[in-house]
């Protein structure tokens, strides 16, 4: 990694920041989001092992880890034994205080790190409102360079974007349908259906769309130019959401497709970029039950 005062470091920091913002604005599910964020942060803050953990809602203990450059055994040990309630409380305090980052390990974590061959830790905690949303953990060997102020400053800079992205990712996760309406009168198959995700920029251009979204939008397409069908309703829904005050909130709409299936649509705005431009993330999921009408 270039020296922190060099032009090379400044360029690397800009690229890492842009990569983080792209991941945060892409409407990803929580696992994919954490994988992408870990990759971009490691480009600027290298470590022998890095993890991005999801946490249990009520205890803030680690619930799931995605990682880079570390064995599954280390990840399993960290998940099951090494991240104590004391570590969880420290992470909650970091997130709520706005301090975000620390490089001091608890006694238990320090003992585990020593046994695993690590000597340096950098931890960042990202809030989801008053709750902890996720934890980034980077580990370096004892002989490696210590984490510096430039590392902590970068993580504090991206923390608000990551916190908002984690909340949006939770929407994507929640939109997963575990029971799908029968496709035929005698078909009782139940399966998982991933939500469709569409990202629309401030000029109404689609910058990202998943395959599931394409299938769902085809079912929601206007039947003829003369009908006031679902596509028109979606555009109106997005226009109202963009025009509404507090546009960083989430709007909801229920629509029936031509197949007879009902869909729930959620819309949320991304964090503005340096020029004040925001995209809209549209999440489409098939509803568990068939309703009668729409709401925005």
**Is the model more confident about 270 or about 186?**
270
- Give this prediction's pTM: 0.62
The residue whose two tokens read 């349908």 is: 177
CA distances from 142 to 81, 96, 139 (A): 21, 30, 9
Q: Token digits for 164?
A: 């908002």
Residue 15, Cα to own-chain centre: how many angstroms? 19
**C-alpha–C-alpha distance, residues 162 and 180, integer Å:** 32
Edge-to-edge strands, sheet with 262-269: 206-209, 196-200, 280-286, 262-269, 250-256
Q: Which of 168, 255, 169 is nearest to 217 (CA)?
A: 255
Query: What pLDDT does residue 293 have?
Result: 43
Question: Alpha helix (H) ranges present in 210-251?
Answer: 211-219, 230-243
- pLDDT exceeds 60 at position 290: no
Q: Who wins on pLDDT, 174 or 256?
A: 256
Please report the beta strands in the chain, taking only residues with DSSP state E, as ranges in sequence order: 49-55, 62-68, 101-102, 118-128, 131-141, 196-200, 206-209, 250-256, 262-269, 280-286
Q: How far apart are CA 65 and CA 63, in angstroms?
A: 7
Which of 5-9, 21-25, 87-91, 104-108 is modeled with the greatest confidence? 21-25
42 Cβ partners below 8 Å, 6+ apart? Answer: 50, 68, 69, 138
Q: What is the DSSP string of 79-136?
A: IIIIS-HHHHHHHHHHHHHT--EE-PPPHHHHHHHHHHTEEEEEEEEEEETTEEEEEE
The encoded tokens of residue 204 equal 């109404």
Give the pair of three-digit tokens for residue 105: 């390990």
Q: What distance lies between CA 270 and its chain's CA centroid?
A: 12
User: CB–CB of 193/211 below 8 Å?
Assistant: no
Contact 228, 258 (CB under 8 A): no
Nearest partner of 236 among 267, 258, 197, judged by Cα: 267
As a whole number of angstroms, the distance between CA 168 and CA 172 comes to 7
Residue 222 has pLDDT above 70, yes or no: no
Q: What is the pLDDT of residues 5-52, one digit of tens each?
A: 577 889 999 999 999 999 998 878 888 899 999 999 999 999 998 989
CA distances from 24 to 69, 77, 250 (A): 22, 29, 16
Confidence band for 291, pLDDT divided at 50, 70 and 90: very low
pLDDT > 70? residue 253? yes
Measuring CA to CA, which residue among 253, 266, 278, 292 is closest to residue 196?
266
């Amino acid at each position: 990694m270039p020296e922190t005062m060099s032009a090379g470091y400044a360029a690397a920091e800009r690229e890492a920041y842009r990569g983080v913002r792209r991941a945060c604005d892409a409407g990803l599910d929580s696992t994919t989001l954490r994988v992408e964020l870990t990759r971009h942060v490691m480009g600027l803050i290298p470590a022998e092992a890095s993890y991005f953990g999801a946490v249990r809602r009520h205890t803030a203990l680690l619930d799931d880890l995605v990682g880079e450059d570390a064995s599954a055994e280390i990840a399993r040990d960290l998940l099951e034994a090494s991240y104590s309630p004391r570590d969880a409380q420290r992470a909650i305090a970091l997130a709520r205080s706005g301090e975000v980052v620390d490089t001091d390990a608890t006694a238990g974590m320090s003992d585990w790190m020593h046994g695993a061959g690590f000597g340096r830790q950098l931890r960042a905690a990202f809030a989801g409102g008053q709750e902890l949303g996720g934890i980034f953990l980077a580990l370096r060997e004892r002989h490696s360079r210590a984490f510096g102020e430039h590392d902590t400053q970068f993580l504090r800079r991206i923390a608000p974007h990551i916190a908002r992205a984690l909340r949006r990712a939770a929407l994507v996760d929640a939109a997963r349908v575990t029971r799908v309406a029968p496709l035929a009168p005698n078909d009782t198959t139940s399966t998982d259906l991933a939500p469709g995700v569409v990202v629309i920029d401030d000029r109404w251009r689609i910058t990202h769309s998943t395959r599931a979204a394409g299938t769902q939008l085809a079912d929601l397409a206007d039947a003829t130019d003369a009908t006031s069908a679902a596509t028109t309703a979606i555009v109106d829904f997005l226009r109202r959401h963009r025009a509404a005050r507090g546009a960083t909130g989430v709007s909801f709409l229920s629509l029936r497709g031509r197949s007879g299936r009902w869909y729930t649509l959620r819309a949320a705005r991304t964090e503005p970029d340096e020029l004040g431009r925001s995209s809209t993330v549209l999440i489409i999921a098939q509803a568990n039950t068939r309703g009668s009408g729409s709401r925005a």
